[in-house]
Structure 1
Amino acid sequence: MQSVTAFTDTYLPTVNGVTYTIQTWRERWHRRGGRMDVVYPKDNDYAPESGEFPVRSLPFPFYEGMRVGVPRVPDAVGDADIVHAHTPFGLGLAGLRLARRRDLPFVATYHTPTGEYAEYLSSVNVIERGVERTAERYERWFFDRADAVIVPSEDAKRRLRDEVGVDAHVVVLSNGIDIERFAPADGDAFRARYDLGDGPLVGYTGRHGYEKELDELVRAAVGLDATLVFGGDGPARDELAQLAADLDVDARFLGFLDREELPAFYSALDVFGFPSPVETQGLVALEANACGTPVVGVNDGALEDTVEDGETGYHYESGDIDSFRRGIQRALAERDELSTRCLARRDEVSVEHSVDRLAALYERLG
């Protein structure tokens, strides 16, 4: 098995889709007898394990909880066979430098459309659009230098082509989920632990970022005979809680949930609501499905493909709150049938299939 060094600007203790994907791929790679080191921004709240190499980092002032690594290549990763960047910035540049210096295959994953986060830098439309254009030009420069660019969905491939201008050497490869972990669990015990009662539950877990349009989920819950449950945290949490209070929505904010709790969280829900239009795959939707919970998600971004109407849940058009509410009501009424279809598709979304394809890509490039 080849030795891989992954460079990322997002890693533990931050828990999100990028961190989860890197961790899961790395664990499966090690199972196969390979080595996958990780270079990431140092955070004093996390003690590195073997094969994890923190480098000096600085807080990113416009995005709470994010740190940016100073581009540097630790000496210990200099013997890699493959370099894989999970960011075009900061440490992604360090990975590119290592690949060019040692003439190694360079793979980059397009996890996040950077332009979507321009609003964090400015609320002025002209400035925001200028930031988006600058980000897209830079991303084009970076990804054009990769031997292969991995995207987790067909939507992400379209975005990379249409918005960034990268079309060649792009490979659609799902991040996959750990179906050993994400399977039906004891949802009743989770309900009891958090005093959620025995009525219908509609929920979401993940970062409470403004770009995820979570207010649409709160507004869609108006008039529903259900409790709204949020797991996770983020900058929009307080405003979401205030909105729920203003609209008289029964909403519970559980805060950050340990990953070990997530299968029970998903299993406790009757429907997972997912209004975010900025996902490049939407792993939490696949995790919910793998636990037997249908998803009602926006018909935009990766969720256009991740959610299958009538099979794993339903779509609604972004901004159409009435349609969102109707989708949730329909999924609540058909919960048992949708759950059966979700569980029948578990193997299709497993990380094992994803790592099989990743290994084949590495082998082809090496």
Structure 2
Amino acid sequence: MRIGIFTDTYDPDINGVVRSINSLKQALVNNDHEVFIITNHPHIYKIEFKDRVLRLPGIRLNSLYGYVASSPIQKRAYEYVRRLSLDIIHVNTDFGIGYFGRYCGRKLNIPVVFTYHTEFESYTNYINPLKIKLVDTIGKFIVSKASKKLCKTCDAVIAPSKKTRNMLKKYGVTRRIFVVPTGLEIDTFYRHSIDYARNQDLRKSLGVRNEELLILYIGRVAPEKSIEILVDGFKKINQSVLPSKLLIVGDGPSYQSLRNSIDASLLDSVLFAGKIAMSEVPRYYSASDVFVSPSVTETQGLTFIEALACGLPLFAREDSALKDVVIENETGFYFKNSDDLARKLEYYASLSDVEKSKIFSKIFEKSREYDLDHFYTSIMDVYQLVK
């Protein structure tokens, strides 16, 4: 098949949607499909087509993570897309390029599949800094109506988790929804395929001693991720019982304010790596000992799956999107608040090597459920149904 993936965010952006798209592209290419990425770049007029990536004009939004916004009306780009002779259009975002993909599908009579990646109702704080309840209610109402309309204009909808499917049904979406968790090229993340010496070099460069537990967060640094719970929980760890450091990897609107909020006593033990290249992400997982994220706004929790693939025990707050990934006392532990997080981390550290080995076995077993072969089979089932 010739498949066009339409997205408002792509390399060099680093986020969950881009990681998911790269996994989708790799799975399709591995099985001899022709894949074209239709995205944008920060040029007012220029269209660029290189290495099967078609980049359309857009404007960089420095106030919104530096993302690029594009018009859904793309007359010149339409001719490029028409000449691609696509069999499937797979839309992955909800903005200008996503609307353009739907338009191309309708005009060219090409089936359109839409993956709903983002739980937008958890982001209404960006338009409601004063936390006014009425504004929040109106924001969530608009999200539900817009989501329903976006799904209506497609032939099939993919949800990365049951949580997302249930949310879309609550919005009144009537299109058939397929639950397809994003897959990973597992061997890229597998701890034993990554150079041990490089891992040790990374720990040393960060000032982490061998006997210290390195607690990792990777993701966007933003209010909806609730990273302050993680920092507060780390502060409550008894360092004489559990010598440890916290490493925060990623960038976002709260990055500077979070750094500024760290107590002076923690400046040497709460480490910030900032934004890193995607190629370096597996190394940071593998150099760490556990993965923690307090976020309850995930549609799937791709970073949890990446951490699993690297053999890391997971620590999370209860969220229906994670219930198939984080299994208590098997692949990780749930915590309710910062006090509970500190207790759970200390409990995990106190386990015997035999008990930890059992957890590692479960983690390895679970991670195999998210390999690219499983992902590809599920995606093709959807494509074949809409063809």
| Cα RMSD, aligned residues only | 1.9
* Residue aligning to 2:201: 189
Question: In the alignment, is the contact (CA less than 8 A) between 2:92 and 2:116 conserved in 1?
Answer: yes
* Residue aligning to 2:277: 258
How many pairs were matched up? Answer: 360
* Residue aligning to 1:332: 349
**5+ residue gaps in structure 2?**
none
* Residue aligning to 2:105: 99
* Residue aligning to 1:207: 220
- Cα deviations across residues 148-194 of structure 1 (Å, max 9, x unaligned)? 100111111112122x2225400000111111201003232321233
Q: Measured at CA, do residues 337 and 193 of structure 1 come closer, stay the same or move farther in structure 2, by a change above 3 Å? A: farther
1:341 deviates by 1.8
The structure with the larger Rg is 2
C-alpha distance in structure 2 between counterparts of 1:324 and 1:14, whole Å: 31
Query: Superposition pairs for residues 1-366 of structure 1, below 5 Å?
Result: 2-43=1-42, 49-60=50-61, 63-71=64-72, 72=74, 73-78=77-82, 79-124=85-130, 125=132, 126-162=134-170, 164-184=171-191, 185=194, 186=196, 187-198=199-210, 199-224=212-237, 225=239, 226-245=244-263, 248=266, 250-317=269-336, 320-334=337-351, 335-366=356-387
Structure 1 residue matching 2:266: 3-state secondary structure: coil
Of all paired residues, the percent bearing the same amino acid is 26
Letter in 2 for 1:280: T
Letter in 1 for 2:126: Y
C-alpha distance in structure 1 between counterparts of 2:261 and 2:344, whole Å: 21
Letter in 2 for 1:358: I
Letter in 1 for 2:55: P
C-alpha distance in structure 2 between counterparts of 1:109 and 1:247, whole Å: 44
C-alpha distance in structure 1 between counterparts of 2:50 and 2:324, whole Å: 36
Structure 2 residue matching 1:311: 3-state secondary structure: coil
C-alpha distance in structure 2 between counterparts of 1:48 and 1:336, whole Å: 49
C-alpha distance in structure 2 between counterparts of 1:248 and 1:191, whole Å: 18
Question: In the alignment, is the contact (CA less than 8 A) between 1:312 and 1:342 conserved in 2?
Answer: yes
More helix by share: 2
Letter in 1 for 2:80: A
Question: In the alignment, is the contact (CA less than 8 A) between 1:278 and 1:301 conserved in 2?
Answer: no
Question: In the alignment, is the contact (CA less than 8 A) between 1:122 and 1:128 conserved in 2?
Answer: yes
Letter in 2 for 1:324: L
- Cα deviations across residues 269-289 of structure 1 (Å, max 9, x unaligned)? 221111111111111111111
C-alpha distance in structure 2 between counterparts of 1:246 and 1:128, whole Å: 35
1:301 deviates by 4.7
**5+ residue gaps in structure 1?**
none
Question: In the alignment, is the contact (CA less than 8 A) between 1:9 and 1:68 conserved in 2?
Answer: yes
